[in-house]
């Protein structure tokens, strides 16, 4: 089963058959399947993200040229494989000829086989004969079916260049996104997602380079000029161009000049002409989608685009940027209360803010109301389901309902990379999550978020080499991404390598502000002990402003740092500041499990044993691992820390032992170097944990 079949893709073609045949030939030559595992699900999960081992090291008699041909047939991305069984057969023949580096005219199958037989061992001859025989069957099937069905054409819509004033950049970006959105929904097209395409803004790379990096056959580029006239009159000039990536040749281009009020018609015309040029038939539903106007209000559309620019279409995790975006989205829906996309993005921005900053009932209510409004406006579209899925995941910490909403969205948009990535993030089975992430990565191969989620999932599964590769891919795309830098360092911690983890943090590029780095590490995963002495000293000089005004996070970070540095008096002082902040927050959000365990930790530093245990145990009751396999372990981990601070070592171990038996970032090697566990070092049960028994 090919990766695209395993991930549920509906557009399959001859390249899928080539993959299957490649697997059969691999096993014939290597003597073992390309992937193995304890279950079919585990095997599919490996096939979604790994390439098989080369055959030549396993069987020295297999020529390396033949090995390379089979590797290409089994490429993870369909566009990287042979287009047909006949092409695969020709490549196998060339691998066995003295002219393997040349490109001779296509040979007839009999001549190809006879040439290969003379020069290669019997097992290779049998492989080619088998392949050609099956090729005949596939050719017969295509003939009987009235011709081969063309696969989905792979297209990337690159950011349109703004030729107007710099402040109009957001408008050109919005034009790009709208055209991409219309093309994405068309059957017969597979369009690279926004986050990957947008990395080529103002690029100097050639179409050939971009096509190779994104695995696409065509790229759509364009220029946009917004001319603002006197009295509010405005015109938009757009010049799109469709380019064949492999040759760099122009397939179609056409200038458009329209009033601003006709900008939606221009977007529809561009999408229609691209589809026509690529011979993509548009049924009635597709035509309706292409012609659809997102809003009747140009002013609402302008506000929406400004919101998208502020939030980078919700790609940022910066509360200040998200609040600016919320203001624009709210302005947009005030101007047009039927603007589906604006309602959905408003909901998602509120959910993200609730998760990242101080969680308030007002933020939660705003996220829910906007998501419900988006779904009511278009129950069969994916936007409302994506928004409500984010609400259930980030606000209510209810992954089951989140997955339910995301799955409903995928029914209408099966190739929506963002939906696939969010589904993976909420999915409780990490092996299933890997399948979704594999599909998302093929649609959005340069997505930093998908790379981060893949790395985080592999870290929890304790597959460290693969996790490091995923984080490295993400950092190659966005070197200053703080969460990637920290979680990459956690891979070293999980292997007991504190020096390596600190070196990974020191490798942060110069544009990363040191204060932002230390605050981020202190908040996320409570890793103040990962910081070196100088970084800890910097952290202790920070004010709540560095923590987005959250005095709870500021207080508990400094309390942990002072406790680590052997200053219990200051640890108690800052723990009390955290206590006051958390108690205030809990009055507004009494069911927030993480707030309860963090309050419990603050109370533990204050020596309030009964209160600390009550709050920590309340958090675990509110969000047990059985309900949330991702956040639940963290909450239980914090309860173990509370018990350690209070000297309740057996109770701490009762909470800690199960965490090493489930997917989570703690490991025996981690326990050896984490100073939070120092009080347990002499305990026999802890020693057995560290020993891995």
User: Of 62-71, 90-99, 208-217, 544-553, which gets the smallest average pLDDT?
Assistant: 90-99
Judgement on whether residues 42 and 68 belong to the same structural domain of the protein = yes
pLDDT of residue 243 exceeding 70, the answer is yes
Q: How many residues does the chain have?
A: 693
Output the domain CATH number for residue 110: 1.10.510.10
Output the domain CATH number for residue 160: 3.40.50.10610
User: DSSP 3-state assignment of 106?
Assistant: coil
Tokens of 110: 């009999």
pLDDT of residue 36 exceeding 90, the answer is no
pTM above 0.85, yes or no: no
pLDDT per position as a tens digit, 607-623: 999 999 999 999 999 99
The confidence score (pLDDT) of residue 643 equals 98
Q: State the residue range of the domain holding 34.
A: 3-144
The confidence score (pLDDT) of residue 99 equals 36
pLDDT of residue 579 exceeding 70, the answer is yes
Judgement on whether residues 327 and 279 belong to the same structural domain of the protein = no
pLDDT of residue 121 exceeding 60, the answer is no
pLDDT of residue 404 exceeding 80, the answer is yes
Asked if the structure places residue 64 within a domain, the reply is: yes
Which phi and psi (to 5°) does residue 234 adopt?
Answer: -140, 145
Contacts of 385 (CB under 8 A, 6+ apart): 375, 405, 406, 408, 409, 412, 419
Q: What is the DSSP letter of 253?
A: E
The confidence score (pLDDT) of residue 94 equals 67
Judgement on whether residues 140 and 12 belong to the same structural domain of the protein = yes
Contacts of 88 (CB under 8 A, 6+ apart): 18, 21, 22, 69, 73, 82, 131, 135
Structural domains counted in the chain: 3
Which residue among 226, 256, 291 closes a domain? Answer: 291
The DSSP line for 451-484 is HHHHHHHHHHTT-HHHHHHHHHHHHHH-TT-HHH
pLDDT of residue 120 exceeding 90, the answer is no
Judgement on whether residues 40 and 161 belong to the same structural domain of the protein = no
Average pLDDT, stretch 296-319? 82
Asked if the structure places residue 636 within a domain, the reply is: no
Residue with tokens 């996790």: 467
Contacts of 534 (CB under 8 A, 6+ apart): none
Residue with tokens 């800052």: 574
CA distance 78 to 82: 8
pLDDT per position as a tens digit, 344-387: 999 999 999 998 887 888 999 999 999 999 999 999 899 999 99
Burial 120-156 (b: 16+ CB within 10 A, else e): beeebbebbeebbebbeebeeeeeeeeeeeebbbbbb
Shortest CA distance to 167 belongs to which of 302, 267, 313?
Answer: 302
pLDDT of residue 135 exceeding 50, the answer is no
The confidence score (pLDDT) of residue 98 equals 37
| 286 or 205, greater pLDDT | 205
Asked if the structure places residue 367 within a domain, the reply is: yes
CA distance 316 to 301: 21
Output the domain CATH number for residue 300: 1.25.40.10
Judgement on whether residues 67 and 87 belong to the same structural domain of the protein = yes
Asked if the structure places residue 319 within a domain, the reply is: yes
Q: If you average pLDDT over each of 114-123, 212-221, 394-403, 593-602, which comes out highest?
A: 593-602
Average pLDDT, stretch 167-194? 86
8 A C-beta contact, residue 278 and residue 189: yes
The confidence score (pLDDT) of residue 20 equals 92
Alpha helix (H) residue ranges in 312-381: 319-335, 340-356, 361-377
Judgement on whether residues 286 and 320 belong to the same structural domain of the protein = no
Average pLDDT, stretch 250-274? 87
CA distance 304 to 302: 5
pLDDT of residue 505 exceeding 50, the answer is yes
8 A C-beta contact, residue 182 and residue 246: no
8 A C-beta contact, residue 261 and residue 254: no
Q: Terminus-to-terminus CA distance in the chain, angstroms?
A: 38
Q: In the chain, pLDDT over 90 holds for what percent of residues?
A: 54
CA angle 102, 108, 111 (to 5 degrees): 80
Asked if the structure places residue 683 within a domain, the reply is: no
Asked if the structure places residue 637 within a domain, the reply is: no
The confidence score (pLDDT) of residue 290 equals 84
CA distance 221 to 162: 11
User: Of 311-325, 464-478, 643-657, which gets the smallest average pLDDT?
Assistant: 311-325
Shortest CA distance to 670 belongs to which of 484, 507, 505, 459?
Answer: 459
Judgement on whether residues 286 and 304 belong to the same structural domain of the protein = no
The confidence score (pLDDT) of residue 10 equals 64
Which residue among 127, 144, 161 closes a domain? Answer: 144
CA distance 616 to 639: 5
Which phi and psi (to 5°) does residue 141 adopt?
Answer: -60, -40
CA distance 275 to 338: 28
CA distance 406 to 519: 32
Judgement on whether residues 29 and 58 belong to the same structural domain of the protein = yes
Query: Could you give the angle at which helices 482-494 and 464-477 cross, rounded to 10 degrees?
Result: 160
Asked if the structure places residue 79 within a domain, the reply is: yes
User: DSSP 3-state assignment of 680?
Assistant: helix
pLDDT per position as a tens digit, 516-571: 999 999 998 999 999 999 999 999 999 999 998 899 999 999 999 999 999 999 99
CA diameter of the chain: 87
Judgement on whether residues 351 and 383 belong to the same structural domain of the protein = yes
The confidence score (pLDDT) of residue 315 equals 66
Shortest CA distance to 551 belongs to which of 575, 521, 515?
Answer: 575
The confidence score (pLDDT) of residue 389 equals 96
Neighbours of 157 (CB within 10 A): 31
CA-only gyration radius of the chain, Å: 28
Judgement on whether residues 46 and 108 belong to the same structural domain of the protein = yes
The confidence score (pLDDT) of residue 309 equals 86
The confidence score (pLDDT) of residue 59 equals 75
Q: Is 15 exposed, middle or buried (0-12, 13-18, 19+ CB in 10 A)?
A: buried
| 630 or 497, greater pLDDT | 497
The confidence score (pLDDT) of residue 289 equals 78
Which residue among 368, 391, 413 closes a domain? Answer: 413
Average pLDDT, stretch 418-424? 92
Judgement on whether residues 342 and 378 belong to the same structural domain of the protein = yes
Judgement on whether residues 157 and 188 belong to the same structural domain of the protein = yes
Asked if the structure places residue 327 within a domain, the reply is: yes
Residue with tokens 């997505």: 447
Task: Categorize the per-residue pLDDT at 103 as very low, low, confident or very high, splitting at 50, 70 and 90.
Answer: very low
The confidence score (pLDDT) of residue 329 equals 95
8 A C-beta contact, residue 410 and residue 436: no
Q: If you average pLDDT over each of 257-266, 306-315, 539-548, which comes out highest?
A: 539-548
The average confidence (pLDDT) of the chain is 86
Shortest CA distance to 453 belongs to which of 641, 226, 195, 661?
Answer: 195
Q: In the chain, pLDDT over 70 holds for what percent of residues?
A: 88
């Amino acid at each position: 089963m090919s990766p695209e079949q395993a991930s549920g893709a509906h557009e399959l073609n001859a390249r899928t058959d080539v993959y299957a045949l490649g697997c059969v030939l691999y096993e014939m030559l290597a003597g073992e399947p390309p992937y193995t595992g304890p279950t079919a699900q585990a095997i599919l999960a490996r096939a979604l993200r790994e390439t098989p081992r080369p055959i030549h090291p396993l069987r020295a008699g297999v020529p390396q040229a033949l090995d390379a041909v089979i590797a290409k047939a089994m490429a993870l991305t369909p566009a990287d494989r042979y287009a047909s069984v006949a092409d695969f057969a020709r490549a196998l023949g060339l691998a066995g000829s003295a002219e393997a580096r040349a490109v001779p005219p296509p040979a007839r199958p009999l001549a190809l086989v006879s040439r290969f037989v003379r020069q290669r061992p019997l097992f290779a001859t049998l492989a080619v004969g088998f392949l050609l025989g099956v090729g005949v069957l596939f050719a017969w099937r295509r003939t009987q079916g009235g011709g081969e069905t063309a696969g989905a054409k792979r297209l990337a819509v690159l950011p349109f260049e703004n030729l107007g004033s710099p402040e109009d950049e957001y408008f050109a970006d919005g034009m790009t996104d709208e055209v991409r959105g219309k093309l994405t929904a068309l059957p017969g097209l597979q369009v690279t997602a926004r986050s990957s395409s947008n990395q080529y803004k103002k690029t100097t790379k050639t179409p050939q380079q971009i096509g190779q990096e994104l695995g696409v056959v065509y790229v759509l580029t364009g220029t946009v000029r917004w001319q603002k006239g006197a009295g509010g009159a405005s015109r938009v000039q757009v010049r799109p161009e469709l380019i064949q990536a492999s040759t760099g040749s122009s397939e179609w281009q056409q200038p458009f000049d329209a009033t601003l009020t006709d900008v939606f018609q221009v977007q529809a015309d561009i999408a229609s002409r691209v589809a026509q040029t690529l011979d993509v038939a548009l049924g009635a539903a597709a035509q309706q989608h292409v012609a659809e106007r997102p809003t009747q209000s140009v002013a609402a559309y302008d506000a929406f685009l400004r919101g998208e620019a502020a939030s980078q279409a919700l790609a940022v995790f910066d509360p200040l940027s998200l609040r600016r975006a919320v203001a624009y989205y709210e302005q947009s829906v005030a101007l047009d209360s039927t603007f589906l996309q604006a309602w959905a993005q408003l909901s998602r921005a509120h959910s993200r803010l609730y998760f990242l900053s101080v969680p308030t009932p007002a933020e939660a209510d705003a996220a829910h109301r906007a998501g419900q409004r988006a779904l009511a406006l278009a129950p069969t579209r994916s936007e409302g389901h994506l928004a409500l899925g984010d609400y259930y995941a980030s606000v209510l910490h209810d992954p089951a309902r989140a997955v339910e909403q995301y799955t409903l969205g995928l029914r209408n948009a099966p190739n929506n990379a963002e939906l696939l990535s969010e589904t993976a993030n909420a999915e409780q089975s990490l092996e299933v999550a890997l399948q979704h992430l594999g599909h998302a990565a093929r649609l959005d191969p340069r997505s930093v978020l998908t790379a981060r989620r893949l790395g985080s999932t592999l870290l929890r599964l304790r597959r460290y080499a693969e996790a490091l590769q995923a984080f490295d891919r993400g950092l190659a795309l966005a070197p200053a991404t703080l969460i990637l830098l920290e979680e990459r360092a956690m891979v070293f911690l999980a292997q007991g390598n504190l020096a390596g983890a600190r070196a990974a943090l020191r490798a942060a590029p110069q544009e990363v502000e040191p204060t932002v780095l230390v605050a981020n590490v202190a908040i996320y995963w409570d890793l103040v002990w990962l910081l070196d002495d100088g970084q800890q000293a910097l952290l202790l000089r920070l004010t709540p402003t560095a923590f987005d005004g959250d005095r709870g996070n500021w207080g508990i970070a400094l309390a942990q740092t002072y406790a680590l540095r052997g200053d219990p008096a200051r640890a108690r002082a800052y723990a009390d500041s955290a206590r006051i902040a958390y108690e205030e927050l809990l009055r507004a959000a009494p069911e927030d499990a993480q707030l309860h365990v963090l309050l419990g930790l603050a109370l533990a530093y204050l020596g309030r044993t009964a209160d600390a245990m009550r709050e920590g145990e309340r958090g675990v009751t509110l969000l047990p691992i059985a309900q949330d396999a991702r956040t639940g372990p963290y909450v239980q981990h914090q309860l173990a820390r509370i018990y350690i601070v209070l000297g309740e070592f057996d109770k701490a171990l009762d909470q800690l032992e199960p965490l090493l038996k489930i997917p989570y970032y703690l490991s025996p090697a981690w326990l050896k170097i984490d100073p939070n566990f120092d009080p347990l070092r002499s305990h026999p049960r802890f020693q057995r944990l560290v020993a891995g028994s």
